[in-house]
Amino acid sequence: MKDTNVSAKTVLLPETADALDRLRSCLERLQPVTIAFSGGMDSSLLALAAHNFLPDSYQAILVDSEFMSASEMRIARVVALKHGLRLKEIKVSPLADPLVTANPALRCYHCKKAIFKSILAEAGSDHRVCEGSVTDDNDDYRPGRQALKELGIVSPLLECGFSKAMVGEVLRHWGATNLVRPAQSCLATRIETGTVISIEILQKIERSEELLRDAGLAQCRLRHHGNLARIEVAPDQVHRALDIAASLFRQLSELGYKHICIDIAGYRKGSMNRID
């Protein structure tokens, strides 16, 4: 492995070092590989691992879709440029599939299938396509996992026992501390199951979250319930979020949210998967 990106100030815990060794062996066995890259922590680690371990036998593919916010696309491009990743971009429109637009309980399954079929076509028959799921993802409702299984997509981090904490540990060890940041998810996860998804709703959510982040809520989710916006933040940010939401009432109401509330339970991964 190249040593240029490794920080001499950090030492991996034994279990993390073992997982990283397993990851190297896994990628070497799979090569050539195509990494489904989003710019988030997990896919960034996987892409950096491929870049370090298989410098001439990998590519990363970034999917530009309605479900990926413009800010996340910018971050992904910056990450790829900064770390010298071999990156391709492709456009995919999940909303072209009525089974995605209708937003049923299995929306994620249909969406993942559409996206990864496009990645497989771009990768070519000689590449194994890999994605960045980790062990923490097993705690959430993820019907998209079935689509990955059906398409033969490999999850090396999951198979090698990587947790989110271990991903952060390796990124710091490699001198990529800038990549350690709060987890993001596609914009469709802000919309309650059964509510038809439109590009207008997605753009409304994206713009609203930009306003909230710019005002100081770095990790937040705006859950869309028609003309009601339910904002989730870390529990220790609830009181601050009240003040910020009040200061942004005019802008948010102009976007179509007549009622704005802060969820006192705080941010909960996958909260829109539940129908109460």
Tell me the per-residue pLDDT of 250-274, one tens digit each, with 9 for 90 and over: 999 999 999 999 999 999 877 776 4
Q: Classify residue 255 by burial, with Cβ atoms within 10 Å: 0-12, 13-18, 19+.
A: middle
**Within a domain: 70:** yes
**Within a domain: 4:** no
Q: Of 44, 14, 3, 21, which is closest to residue 174 (Cα–Cα)?
A: 3
**Within a domain: 6:** no
**Within a domain: 3:** no
Q: What are residue 117's phi and psi, to 5 degrees?
A: -65, -40
State whether 30 and 101 are in the same domain. Answer: yes
Q: Of 260, 100, 129, which is closest to residue 187 (Cα–Cα)?
A: 100
- pLDDT above 80 (res 199): yes
- pLDDT above 60 (res 6): no
- Domain span at 259: 198-266
- pLDDT above 80 (res 28): yes
State whether 46 and 92 are in the same domain. Answer: yes
Mean pLDDT of the region 118-130: 97
- pLDDT above 90 (res 111): yes
**Which among 179, 212, 228 is the end of a domain?**
179
Rg (CA), the chain: 19
Residue 9: the pLDDT is: 56
Could you tell me the pTM of the whole model? 0.92
Mean pLDDT of the region 135-149: 89
- pLDDT above 90 (res 99): yes
Greater model confidence, 154 or 271: 154
Residue 187: the pLDDT is: 97
State whether 168 and 262 are in the same domain. Answer: no
When divided into structural domains, the chain yields a total of: 2
Among 8-22, 81-95, 99-113, 158-172, the least confident range = 8-22
- Over residues 29-76, the pLDDT tens digits come to 999 999 999 999 999 999 999 999 999 999 999 999 999 999 999 999
C-alpha span between 46 and 33 (Å, rounded): 11
Q: Measure Cα distances from 114 to 97, 100, 153 in Å.
A: 8, 9, 13
CATH number of the structural domain spanning residue 259: 3.30.70.2210
Helices (H), the chain: 14-30, 41-53, 70-82, 98-101, 107-123, 144-151, 156-159, 164-173, 199-214, 238-247, 249-254
Q: Confidence class of residue 1 from pLDDT cuts 50, 70 and 90?
A: very low
State whether 223 and 166 are in the same domain. Answer: no
Which residues make Cβ contacts (< 8 Å) with residue 213, sequence separation at least 6? Answer: 71, 220
- pLDDT above 60 (res 213): yes
Mean pLDDT of the region 72-85: 97
Q: Of 154, 156, 273, 276, which is closest to residue 223 (Cα–Cα)?
A: 273
Which tokens hold the place of 55?
């410098």
**Within a domain: 21:** yes
